[in-house]
Amino acid sequence: MKMSLAVLTALFGLSAQVVSAADAIDPERILSAATGDWDKDGNVDLAMLVAPDADSDEDNAVYIYLNDGDTGALTLKTIAPNKIWGHLAMAGQVPSITALPNGSILITSHNDAVGRDRWEQKLTVAYRNFDFVVAGYTYTSYDTLDPDNMSDCDFNVLTGKGKSNGRSVAVTGRLVFLKDWNDDVGQTACQK
């Protein structure tokens, strides 16, 4: 769902001064946005997926803002550039960001449109140690021409435990900040 920053500001009663002109994000680049209480302080925070500039070959960025609680102003806490694959112009490849009931953030990317290899990846992002970390990694895939060629992995990055294709996975748990995340961390654990 594409939302402009102006719509978000109006919806949540946030000050128009939340983002200075120098830091403004072109509303046309906002692919998805969600609000929730990421730091569990009782205030509404914001997370957005933002497309790169049109001439860039990078993936989408994640911007996470925390409400300061006093004035209601949002302060940029984390920028994770070149992080989430997906395209707004292609149906079946639009990434999304969602607030979970426990205060975590769910970021979903997928390919349901092109080629025979279809997949979905979900990152569960949580606020820990005063920053945002990838707490969970889920990946499913299937081959449209070979119905028996499927994979399914659900992995808790913090504990190192999960399941891959019905088998238990156990590796050393890690605290990986969102800005430092690489999908290879999850893929490697899922192949153990």
User: What are the structural domain ranges in the chain?
Assistant: 1-101, 115-192
Q: Which of 137, 143, 91 is nearest to 113 (CA)?
A: 91
The beta strands (E) that lie in 85-171 are given as: 96-99, 105-111, 117-128, 131-143, 146-156, 161-164, 167-170
Instruction: Indicate the pTM of the whole model.
Output: 0.85
Question: Distance (Å, rounded) from C-alpha 38 to C-alpha 27?
Answer: 23
Please provide the DSSP assignment of 161-189 as one string. EEEETTEEEE------BGGG--HHHHHHH
Strands 96-99 and 117-128: unpaired
* pLDDT tens-digit map of 73-129: 999 999 999 999 998 777 788 999 999 999 999 999 999 888 888 999 999 999 998
